[in-house]
Amino acid sequence: MTKLPLLLPLLSPRAASPSRALTPPPARLLAVAAAGASVQDAVMSAAATGDYPCPVSPPYPAVSKDVELRRALTASARSGAYSSAAVVFEDEWLAVVDKPAGVYCEALLSALPCSTASSGDPSSKPNLHLANRLDRDTSGLMVITKCNKVAAKLVKAFTEHKVKKTYLALCIGYPPAWEKIKICSGHGRSKHGAWRVYAMSDVGRTLPGGSSVRDMSTKFEVLGTDGEGQYREPSNVDIDDIESITVQEKAADQTSNVDVKNHMIFVRAYPQSGRTHQIRLHCQYLGFPIRGDVKYGGVIEWNGVDCDGHALHAESLSFVHPVTGLPVTFRAPLPSWASEIISTMG
């Protein structure tokens, strides 16, 4: 009996409805829910039901090391020259800024043109803290607090997942059969030191090096494929009936030689937890790594142009203001790659 990586659908009213059929890539076979299915049975079942590709995990490809080094050097130069953060909102307690891609988070602290200190005295210097962080090449919203008390409250809100976030991503890979989905998995470091997707059953297990596997979940919705689709505002994924899949086995620790179907998939992600590289990992696992994300299987070149970073954007943040107690929502301006995609859609 052949053992295959398994993504087990948790049936919901939406999941039980017929879905568009997909033909899975030969080296990315999916196991069917029934135990003991053969490889041929798995192929036939996946093609008939539109199950999900199951790509491989780290180690990182060797070529990514050179690309990452070049990007890091470029980002260091950009960060050193970064002098004026784009402020989306600011009051005397915090500021929300739009971080550009290719700039380190810490550069925003010195580049924030704070107009008012938390004490109300314009001559005093606020004590700035990063309430959240974004990867170097991820653009979008970050919150900077101006005093320790506000920082503690907001960091706690992010840690306890009380801050609702949405991200936009442009992915290249195998087109999904679903419109909306929730993926639940484990999260931890592999023996190579790279972050990876683990099975949910591994959550709590101690890994080599002393860390442990933690849970992570992300909800996705497809906005367009190959330029066809319609851009829409974020939906209330808390009440939508949405199909769920649970990772039953960690991704294979190897590199695939199979050509991936290079479709362009524009997605919105709703992370339900805040693990390192969470959206990037889940996109890779679902068969459509983010464009330019060389660590997790993304293409380095697309349509004849080299990618200088990955196409991931922190689109919105919603939380309760730590001082006023009022609910607030902030949206970041779209990056150029997202505007170009949306302009081609209906």
pLDDT of residue 270: 96
Instruction: Give the other-Cβ count within 10 Å of 78's Cβ.
Output: 16
User: pLDDT tens digits, the chain, 346 residues: what are they?
Assistant: 333 343 333 333 333 333 333 333 323 333 333 333 433 343 334 434 444 444 444 556 667 788 889 999 999 999 999 999 999 999 999 999 999 999 999 999 989 886 554 445 555 567 899 999 999 999 999 999 999 999 999 999 999 999 999 999 999 999 998 999 999 999 998 877 789 999 999 999 998 878 899 999 999 999 999 989 989 888 876 656 788 889 987 655 444 434 556 899 999 999 999 999 999 999 999 999 999 999 999 999 998 888 999 999 999 999 999 999 999 999 999 999 999 999 988 6
CA distance 286 to 278: 12
Taking the CA atoms of residue 46, residue 267, residue 17 and residue 45 in that order, the dihedral angle to the nearest 10 degrees is: 0
CA distance 284 to 296: 6
Judge contact between 270 and 247, C-beta under 8 A.
no
Q: Is 140 helix (H, G, I), strand (E, B) or coil?
A: strand
CA distance 5 to 7: 7
Question: Which token pair is 318?
Answer: 């919603």
Which CATH architecture does the domain made up of 82-160+316-344 adopt? 2-Layer Sandwich (3.30)
Beta bridge partners of 317: 165, 330
CA distance 296 to 313: 17
Judge contact between 219 and 272, C-beta under 8 A.
yes
Domain ranges of the chain: 7-66+166-310, 82-160+316-344
Nearest to 221 by CA among 286, 164, 269: 269
Beta bridge partners of 269: 167, 220
Judge contact between 286 and 260, C-beta under 8 A.
no
Instruction: Give the other-Cβ count within 10 Å of 332's Cβ.
Output: 22
Q: Is the pTM of this model over 0.75?
A: yes
**Which residues have a catalytic role annotated?**
135
pLDDT of residue 14: 34
Which helix (H) or strand (E) covers residue 267, if one does? strand 263-271
Judge contact between 183 and 171, C-beta under 8 A.
no
pLDDT of residue 341: 93
Enumerate residues 6+ apart whose C-beta is below 8 A from 269. Answer: 166, 167, 168, 169, 218, 219, 220, 279, 282, 283
pLDDT of residue 41: 44
Enumerate residues 6+ apart whose C-beta is below 8 A from 68. Answer: 294, 295
pLDDT of residue 51: 42
Is 127 exposed, middle or buried (CB count within 10 Å of its CB: 0-12, 13-18, 19+)?
middle
What residue type is 209 in one-letter code? G
pLDDT of residue 242: 81
